[in-house]
Amino acid sequence: MATLERARAAVPHVHEQLLDNGLRVLIQEMRTAPLASVWCWYRVGSKDETTGFTGISHWVEHMNFKGTTNIPRDKVKGIIEQFGGYWNGYTWIDQTTYTETASREALDRMLFIESERMARCLYDPADCESERTVIISELQGGENDPDTVLDQELTAVAFKAHPYRHPTIGWLSDLQTMTREDLYAYYRRYYVPNNATLVIVGDVDRDDAMQAVIRHFGTIPSVAVARRPLTAEPPQFGERRLTLSREGTTAYLKVGYRAPALGDPDFFPMLVLDAVLTGAKGLNLWASFRTPPPQRSARLYRALVNTGLASSVSGGLVPTAEPFLYTLSLTATDGTPLGRIEEALLREVDRVRADGVTPAELQKAVHQLRARLVFENDSISNIAHQLGYFATIADWRICGSLEERIGAVTLDQVAAAAAERLTAANRTIGWFEPLPPGSSDGTAVLG
């Protein structure tokens, strides 16, 4: 049986249907509680943005909470809350999504909201200007967090050409100059049924839910989505470096390695490798990072935190449509030079490149990752998220094969991935060195 066929069999009771207008619908009946979760996913994120329009995906996401032809802006929140539910949304590099979870009686209302959001958002000029102020304030707030700034700058240095280099929130000059017409044109270009996946999970009847979907979404016309080709990131031939200096109290170190996309054979070996180095995180962007990973026996925790060099260490590898970054992040203890932390970190990285991981480490990492998969499926909202998330970057059926793919990782595969991916020529190193209060404006140095 082919991999995706096995995956389909492993995801129980998911009904898939493609409407005539191209909207993909996934419905999974779950009778664990009288609740329903609706997620509407769009295959558009910051990687789809062009020069001069960075941050537009995130801004459009904000605007689509500002009311529609049939929902006044001050009523959107109340529609869901009267059913005891909650709503939210987010934008990232590959996707934008909106969600509501409430009692099952609210299903028709949730579908109504998402159909309105897809076809009839208003983009009142005053709301666009008000939200410009909100988003610029959000950007400036992030600039006050050294760890956030270092992460943003590291990504921009690690990628020279691919649009993954742009921060999802955008660059300030673009946020200052984009117009209401720019925002609305972007909305009408990507917020169309043939660029979307609608996911429903919960205490629903599949046929009734499908009829409600057709009633709300079936008449929304499809639109040709003209996607521009993405610039492929050229090979990296040497280590890249940057140093940020500004007022602060804590020093930070980040090392970003070019990482495989979800569809690359190295992705799951790298996931296991990260579990060995920094603790198992799982694969749910919505839920995994809210729960700290088990770290006390992780290699980098023992080498850097237990020895007092760093107060924290973490690793970041997330499933993406195209190759992104595997990032190791460390917070220095007071008075510890970043050079000393970097030396200790790279020594451990070189050791795993040379020797791989042990059978016991592999077994423990696989066990922990499988446990995280269980926790990631502890609610209808998390299950619906995963179906839609994987649909936007690859195929929703992969959800059913995650445990199998993790369990199939071998020692040789982990060793090969470490040897190939964790090289000096494949990394970008970023330092944040705090300056004492009253120092001059911060600087950035590239090397």
Q: Is residue 32 part of a domain?
A: yes
Position 182 confidence tier, pLDDT thresholds 50, 70, 90: very high
Comparison of pLDDT for 4 and 101, the residue scoring more: 101
Q: Is residue 230 part of a domain?
A: no
Position 288 confidence tier, pLDDT thresholds 50, 70, 90: confident
Name the percent of the chain in helix, strand, coil, to the closest 5.
45, 20, 35
CATH code of the domain in which 135 resides: 3.30.830.10
3 has a pLDDT exceeding 50: no
54 has a pLDDT exceeding 50: yes
User: What does the pLDDT read at residue 447?
Assistant: 58
User: What does the pLDDT read at residue 440?
Assistant: 56
Position 75 confidence tier, pLDDT thresholds 50, 70, 90: confident
The domain of 109 spans 3-217
Q: How many CB atoms lie within 10 A of CB 187?
A: 22
Measured CA to CA, the distance from residue 19 to residue 224 in angstroms comes to 15
Domain boundary among 217, 250, 273: 217
Please indicate, yes or no, whether residues 265 and 126 belong to a single structural domain of this protein. Answer: no
442 has a pLDDT exceeding 80: no
Measured CA to CA, the distance from residue 374 to residue 275 in angstroms comes to 16
The structure tokens listed for 251 are: 């020093």
Measured CA to CA, the distance from residue 117 to residue 84 in angstroms comes to 21
Measured CA to CA, the distance from residue 115 to residue 3 in angstroms comes to 34
**What's the mean pLDDT in 137-141?**
94
Measured CA to CA, the distance from residue 278 to residue 191 in angstroms comes to 38
Measured CA to CA, the distance from residue 190 to residue 264 in angstroms comes to 27
Position 80 confidence tier, pLDDT thresholds 50, 70, 90: confident
Please indicate, yes or no, whether residues 437 and 302 belong to a single structural domain of this protein. Answer: yes
Q: Is residue 233 part of a domain?
A: no
Measured CA to CA, the distance from residue 376 to residue 373 in angstroms comes to 5
**What's the mean pLDDT in 311-323?**
97
- Strand, coil or helix: 42: strand
Please indicate, yes or no, whether residues 280 and 377 belong to a single structural domain of this protein. Answer: yes
Measured CA to CA, the distance from residue 191 to residue 122 in angstroms comes to 13
Q: Is residue 246 part of a domain?
A: yes
Alpha-carbon dihedral 358, 360, 363, 368, rounded to 10 degrees: -110
Identity of the residue numbered 178: M
Identity of the residue numbered 395: D
- Is residue 40 within 8 A of residue 118, CB to CB? The reply is yes
Tens digit of each residue's pLDDT (9 = 90 or more) over 108-127: 999 999 999 999 999 999 99
User: What does the pLDDT read at residue 438?
Assistant: 76
Please indicate, yes or no, whether residues 121 and 163 belong to a single structural domain of this protein. Answer: yes
Please indicate, yes or no, whether residues 74 and 138 belong to a single structural domain of this protein. Answer: yes
Tens digit of each residue's pLDDT (9 = 90 or more) over 167-178: 999 999 999 999
Tens digit of each residue's pLDDT (9 = 90 or more) over 342-380: 999 999 999 999 999 999 999 999 999 999 999 888 899
Query: CA triplet 24, 29, 31: central angle to 5 degrees?
Result: 155
**What's the mean pLDDT in 14-34?**
97
Please indicate, yes or no, whether residues 30 and 171 belong to a single structural domain of this protein. Answer: yes
Helix axes 56-63, 125-143, angle to 10 degrees: 130
Q: Is residue 381 part of a domain?
A: yes
Q: Is residue 228 part of a domain?
A: no
Please indicate, yes or no, whether residues 263 and 372 belong to a single structural domain of this protein. Answer: yes
**What's the mean pLDDT in 143-161?**
95
8 has a pLDDT exceeding 50: no
Tens digit of each residue's pLDDT (9 = 90 or more) over 238-269: 999 999 999 999 999 999 999 999 999 999 99
User: What does the pLDDT read at residue 11?
Assistant: 56
**What's the mean pLDDT in 206-229?**
95
Number of structural domains the chain divides into? 2
Please indicate, yes or no, whether residues 74 and 199 belong to a single structural domain of this protein. Answer: yes
Please indicate, yes or no, whether residues 305 and 182 belong to a single structural domain of this protein. Answer: no
Q: Is residue 225 part of a domain?
A: no
Integer CA distances (angstroms), 424 to 234, 313, 327, 420, in order: 16, 20, 14, 10
Domain boundary among 182, 217, 252: 217
User: What does the pLDDT read at residue 7?
Assistant: 42
Give the mean pLDDT of the chain.
94
Domain boundary among 150, 182, 217: 217
Please indicate, yes or no, whether residues 245 and 187 belong to a single structural domain of this protein. Answer: no
Position 437 confidence tier, pLDDT thresholds 50, 70, 90: confident
Residues of the chain above pLDDT 90, percent: 86
User: What does the pLDDT read at residue 378?
Assistant: 87
Position 397 confidence tier, pLDDT thresholds 50, 70, 90: very high
According to DSSP, residue 70 is labeled S
227 has a pLDDT exceeding 70: yes
User: What does the pLDDT read at residue 212?
Assistant: 98
Q: Is residue 223 part of a domain?
A: no
- Is residue 85 within 8 A of residue 103, CB to CB? The reply is yes
Please indicate, yes or no, whether residues 260 and 210 belong to a single structural domain of this protein. Answer: no
**What's the mean pLDDT in 49-65?**
97
Please indicate, yes or no, whether residues 283 and 191 belong to a single structural domain of this protein. Answer: no
Integer CA distances (angstroms), 219 to 111, 118, 204, in order: 14, 12, 23
